Structure 1
Amino acid sequence: MKQGIGRLRFAKEEMPQVTRKMLSRIMSYFLPYWKKMLLVISIIIIISILGLVPPMLIRNIIDNALPQKDLMLLSVLIFVSIGVTVILGLLQVAQSYLSIWISKHIILNMKNQMYAHLQNMSLNFYTDAKPGEIITRITSDIDGIQDIFNTTIVNALTSFVVLISTAAVLIMMNWKLAFVGMIILPAFIIPTRKVGKLRWKIATKSQEKISDLNQIIQEAFSVSGALLTKIFTKEKDELARFEKTNKEVITLQLRESVVGRWFRMTITTFIAIGPMLIYFYGGYLFIKGEISIGSIIAFVALLGRLYLPVSQLSNIHIDVTRSLALFQRIFEYLDQKQEIKDKPGAAKFEVIKGKVDFEKVYFSYNSKVKVLENISFSINPGTMVALVGSSGVGKTTITNLIPRLYEVNRGSIKIDDRDIRDVTLESLRNQIGIVIQEPYLFNDTIEENLRYGKKDATEQEMIEACQAAYIHDFIMTLPDHYKTIVGNRGIKLSGGEKQRVSIARVILRDPRIIILDEATSSLDSVSEMYIQKAMVPLLRDRTSFVIAHRLSTVLAADQIFVIENGTIAESGNHEELLRKKGLYRQIFDTQFKGGNFLGGSSSPSEVS
């Protein structure tokens, strides 16, 4: 199982630049919670001011209460100190809860935004993007930035307020001692930029490897992947591939962690030096009678409040840099252009008749390979159209353009004489039902899979749809009837049973235009018989496009288009095309007469 090509990478050797545009975009996620953010800031200021009280009380205990042997003063000072500590604890709990609440709701909104954005991407996006990469961006990448407010921004605000207030108190107590304590502060900042750049590079590579790991997991544990692994006895090879990538992820995460540890060790060393300088110079000032012992002890206690915010502010640069790497990955996906979307003022299709016109349509999946050229035809309501031709000539592409799964490069497609680009995607696709060769069923009940076609379908409507699709009797033989879980991708059902459930789902939708993409391909004769019967009520009085697979389908068609090299080589009904003795006659003689399959569907990979 090769990992997909065409990954959308953002990683560059240059570290992300903190621009006003990026900061503005990041802050837009915080603006809805500005009231709670103001409350958090207010609590931070109160905590910072109250945090100055205990060291000052310690100074009074040592300089006044103990020398004077004043038990009452000692008791009051200790009681006040305990009270302040309790209040600080309660405020910190409140601040922590609010910070977490804000960060979690930002993550909630970002994931919703990402999910909605990706849902509106065209199939071209999913052709190139890897499922594991998408999963990583919408989960771990977004989860990885939740600390930017919960810790980074809160720590920055706290550190700034604590730094300013503590420095002011230290200077008021003794400016000479304050200068000695602050002289090593530049040493906290010097290594910050280098460490931040290194951590950003490692974090970038780490997230890419996590995407690879998710892709391996997604491939290996899907039903198709697990089946393929077992058939070819590749369990050991897949395990080796997983172990290799998993080890690379752990190695990168360890490197990032070690980089941070070395940085913190350096900062810790400088933090330990500061109090020693205070004791040395403070002792000198005490001997000279310029300061008391209580002041020295209070000074050392306050010095921790000075160094800690500087250390945190230094780390914040690293954390912000790492967060920018994640934001850049997230924004790269959010900035992916939605090729197909509603135009401003798009109208809604209410009820359509089903007339379909292609007018000089050109299409290609990329600029190098042309898929469709100058496709033009007009189909009246209720007409059944068969598309025949060899594999990869563009049959499926034609049908995919009708519901705007892809956008035409040139020309136009009209339904009831209205350009499909002038109507909303939802109202357009509500008029179209598609049955593909390999139907997709969710790992849920038959009932819920049917409701995907019509959310508010009644039980009777579901039964009638399933009866029309010749699947109701089978469902009633199951232990839980319509409540039966079908398994991942409907694996608990046979191919024919899944197909009939998907047809019932389309019947519930009651569309005016039907697209059948080799719906009976690879089925046994009994299943095919049931599918053919199920198609009768499905196609009745509807415009339909059928990628021909069996001779019976071709004979039933009102109009046949023979597709060759992305163009309509011939058109007409069966008898007319036989009389022309052209390409259709050749296909009929070599394939239809022998009862063989006729071609296959085209896809981006096949065409290109």
Structure 2
Amino acid sequence: MKGLRETFAHDTWVMPYLRKYKGLLILVLFLGFMTFFSGGALMFNSGYLISEAARQPSSIIYIYVPVVLARAFGIARPTFRYIERLTSHNWVLKIVSDFRKKLYQTVERKASAIQRSHQTGDILSILADDIDHIENLYLRTVFPMVIGWLLYLFIVIGVGSLNWVVGLLMLLLLGIIVIVLPLASVATNGVREYRQHQIQHEFYTNLTDEVLGLGDWLISGRYDDFINLQKKPIKQIAQLRKKDHYFQWWRSFFVQFVVLLTTITLLIWAANSFTATKSLANWVAAFALAIFPAVSPFLNMSQGLSEWPVYRRSIERVNQLDRDQPAKVDQNQLEGHFKELKIANVTFKYPDGDRNIVNDISMTIHPGEKVALLGPSGTGKSTFLKLLVGDLIPNDGQILANGKDVSSLQKVRSSLFGILDQQPYLFDTTVMNNVRLGNTNATDDEIKDAIAAVGLKDLIESLPDQYNTEVQETGKRFSGGERQRLSLARILLQDAPIIILDEPTVSLDPITEKKLLDQVFDLLHNKTIIWVTHHLAGIAHVDQVRFLENGHFDMQGTPQELYQQEPRFRQLYDLDRGK
């Protein structure tokens, strides 16, 4: 109960909509109760009718009323069920519509803050899973629980009004189903449900990042490693689901066993209470059969409550979006020239993660230094870059540029960092306009000089519209190497002291890759470069190499030192050179 209160103490997603549509909610619960009440009444009436008909009454009048009631309850049950389904889904769809609208507005309003605290896969998980989980909270937990409790109270009070001892037995026997089993389900199967959701969420997040770098896996010849990496969480989920199925089978068996005990109890009581005359004996079967329609809602109660830990986590996650406020920091200027980038004991873990993506990393980068950051996909390289530029805030430690936290330099970030990544985005406008994005104050001559510096002058001037050529959406008018050179021209115009190369050659052939890397390091020889890569082609251009694995630096040193001292580095280097 404490956890329930904490979940809804500051809730802005679930409780407000319960109050907003409370009238419709009451109608749904009433219709749900009437569905099972009609089923129980049909069985109760049928038990009486069969017993009375078996006595072969002298006139049809003796069974006329039960026959009519059998028709009435037989029609009422599917009718109530149909209306209840329509009403409940209408109610849920209204709420989910409001949820999605609120979610999109939240993401739009706080895009910067959300980007800092969530991975791409995180946002996809919220969009794809959490809203559906909250929808299922009503359909699979709230509705069955409330309807089951109403039936429980109705049965206990109804039987207790006839015989308080039997009513007490009903209270105890059915209490096992509606109280003990749901709590046991949360304590055992609920933990598995939550763990399954955790694995699925991590799988969703990691797979998103890995698919974005799928080309790297293929190029590095690690396709089998990529496939095996996906098999592990799938096997874990399969094992948990297998255990879940076993638990559900035994739980259903136990519910049926308790219902059997309840039926026997009602039979013994009815046999002792309603056998004084032949006409009274007709009620024995009626009481015994009436309990069976309640089996379904009682089973749904345990299953619905066992899923509560998953729903609770989803509620907490969407509520966290409302509490994610952008960090208010002083937007200081970077005083003077760039002197030092210091990473001091930086540790970072995503809010929903169970491990540190970056774990107590420290290093210092000086002006003009060239650093290569290597490691397989999923080891934290992209996260580390986000920490460097201030998109993410470390849980511990600091990242300082000239002694100032990079998170306080976001308004002047473009004067500190230039980024050349895997897929440089070119807009559907002219070559001139695309390159001008590096420095909107640059003159046409400065832009042409930047384009000439990256070796595209002859190509551009050979086109009919020359510098006014439309590059088309994402730059598909040009090849991959040409798109990277246009992006490099932007960086030359930007003239930032620190350049981040986020695997800019990953989609290029080896010849184009070598030419582009030679050109990049030649043009940016006076810049500080942080180069993220999967393999060692062009590694001779850098001053130091850092291998990032499991959140920390596994190997570090100059390329020459590592080649001599580290067999693993030597093997990778020779492999990239074709030896």
Relative to the length of structure 2, the TM-score reads: 0.61
Residue 574 of structure 1 corresponds to: none
Asked if 1:300 corresponds to 2:279, the answer is: no
Q: Which residue of 466, 484, 499 maps to 1:517? A: 499
Residue 544 of structure 1 corresponds to: none
Residue 459 of structure 1 corresponds to: none
Distance 1:263 1:285 in 2: 33
Residue 184 of structure 1 aligns to a residue whose secondary structure is helix
Q: Is the 8 A contact 1:148 1:323 kept in 2?
A: yes
Instruction: State the shift of 1:42 in Å.
Output: 2.7
Q: Residues 99, 283 of structure 1: CA spacing in aligned structure 2 closer, same or farther, 3 A cutoff?
A: same
Q: How does 1:357-372 map to 2 (within 5 A)?
A: 357=336, 363-366=342-345, 371=363
Residue 199 of structure 1 corresponds to: 189
Asked if 1:148 corresponds to 2:137, the answer is: yes
Distance 1:281 1:450 in 2: 92
Q: Which residue of 71, 81, 86 maps to 1:89? A: 81
Residue 550 of structure 1 corresponds to: 522
Residue 391 of structure 1 corresponds to: 371
Instruction: State the shift of 1:467 in Å.
Output: 12
Distance 2:180 2:84 in 1: 31
Distance 2:463 2:427 in 1: 11
Instruction: State the shift of 1:200 in Å.
Output: 3.3
Q: Which residue of 17, 21, 26 maps to 1:36? A: 21
Please list every run of 5 or more consecutive structure 2 residues that lacks an aligned counterpart in the other structure.
Answer: 347-359, 374-383, 438-446, 530-539, 557-579
Residue 269 of structure 1 corresponds to: 257
Distance 1:371 1:88 in 2: 68
Distance 1:248 1:326 in 2: 21
AA partner of residue 522 (structure 2): R
Distance 1:449 1:162 in 2: 72
Instruction: State the shift of 1:447 in Å.
Output: 6.1
Q: Is the 8 A contact 1:58 1:294 kept in 2?
A: no
Q: Residues 149, 264 of structure 1: CA spacing in aligned structure 2 closer, same or farther, 3 A cutoff?
A: same
Instruction: State the shift of 1:31 in Å.
Output: 1.0
Q: How does 1:499-510 map to 2 (within 5 A)?
A: 499-500=485-486
Q: How does 1:200-599 map to 2 (within 5 A)?
A: 200-211=190-201, 213-214=203-204, 217-218=207-208, 221-222=211-212, 224-232=213-221, 234-289=222-277, 292-293=280-281, 295-304=283-292, 308-324=296-312, 330=317, 341-342=327-328, 357=336, 363-366=342-345, 371=363, 387-391=367-371, 421=408, 428=411, 435-441=418-424, 482-483=471-472, 493-500=479-486, 517=499, 549-550=521-522, 554=526, 597=541, 599=543
Q: Is the 8 A contact 1:167 1:178 kept in 2?
A: yes
Compute the RMSD of aligned alpha carbons.
Answer: 6.0
Q: Is the 8 A contact 1:475 1:481 kept in 2?
A: no
Residue 391 of structure 1 aligns to a residue whose secondary structure is strand
Q: Is the 8 A contact 1:166 1:306 kept in 2?
A: no
Asked if 1:184 corresponds to 2:173, the answer is: yes
AA partner of residue 24 (structure 1): A
Q: Is the 8 A contact 1:499 1:519 kept in 2?
A: no
Distance 2:500 2:170 in 1: 80
Asked if 1:69 corresponds to 2:69, the answer is: no
> Which structure shows the bigger proportion of residues in helix conformation?
2
Q: Residues 404, 449 of structure 1: CA spacing in aligned structure 2 closer, same or farther, 3 A cutoff?
A: farther
Distance 1:21 1:450 in 2: 56
AA partner of residue 151 (structure 1): R
Q: Is the 8 A contact 1:402 1:413 kept in 2?
A: no
Residue 243 of structure 1 aligns to a residue whose secondary structure is helix
Distance 2:76 2:276 in 1: 34
Distance 1:290 1:449 in 2: 99
Residue 292 of structure 1 aligns to a residue whose secondary structure is coil
Percent identical = 9
Deviations 1:395-440 (A, max 9, x none): xx999988877676698769xxxx995x9x6xx3797696423353
Q: How does 1:121-160 map to 2 (within 5 A)?
A: 139-140=128-129, 143-160=132-149
Q: Is the 8 A contact 1:390 1:598 kept in 2?
A: yes
Please list every run of 5 or more consecutive structure 1 residues that lacks an aligned counterpart in the other structure.
Answer: 1-15, 376-386, 456-464, 534-547, 555-560, 564-595
Distance 1:159 1:204 in 2: 24
Distance 1:528 1:392 in 2: 16
Q: Residues 355, 408 of structure 1: CA spacing in aligned structure 2 closer, same or farther, 3 A cutoff?
A: closer
Distance 1:114 1:108 in 2: 10
Q: Is the 8 A contact 1:155 1:312 kept in 2?
A: yes
Q: Is the 8 A contact 2:270 2:287 kept in 1?
A: no
Q: Residues 410, 292 of structure 1: CA spacing in aligned structure 2 closer, same or farther, 3 A cutoff?
A: farther
Distance 2:230 2:206 in 1: 7
Q: Which residue of 85, 105, 120 maps to 2:113? A: 120
Residue 138 of structure 2 aligns to a residue whose secondary structure is helix
Distance 2:542 2:35 in 1: 82
Distance 2:41 2:83 in 1: 20
Residue 100 of structure 2 corresponds to: 108
Distance 2:449 2:202 in 1: 45
Q: Is the 8 A contact 1:166 1:305 kept in 2?
A: no
AA partner of residue 229 (structure 1): L
Asked if 1:23 corresponds to 2:8, the answer is: yes
Distance 1:518 1:218 in 2: 22
Residue 287 of structure 1 aligns to a residue whose secondary structure is coil
Residue 80 of structure 1 corresponds to: 72
AA partner of residue 93 (structure 1): R
Residue 388 of structure 1 aligns to a residue whose secondary structure is coil
Distance 2:206 2:276 in 1: 72
Q: Is the 8 A contact 1:65 1:73 kept in 2?
A: no
Distance 1:27 1:240 in 2: 41
Instruction: State the shift of 1:196 in Å.
Output: 2.6
Instruction: State the shift of 1:204 in Å.
Output: 4.0
Instruction: State the shift of 1:258 in Å.
Output: 1.6
Distance 1:502 1:359 in 2: 21
Q: How does 1:166-181 map to 2 (within 5 A)?
A: 166-172=155-161, 178-179=167-168, 181=170
AA partner of residue 147 (structure 1): N
AA partner of residue 137 (structure 2): I
Q: Residues 238, 293 of structure 1: CA spacing in aligned structure 2 closer, same or farther, 3 A cutoff?
A: same
Residue 573 of structure 1 corresponds to: none
Q: Is the 8 A contact 1:434 1:514 kept in 2?
A: yes
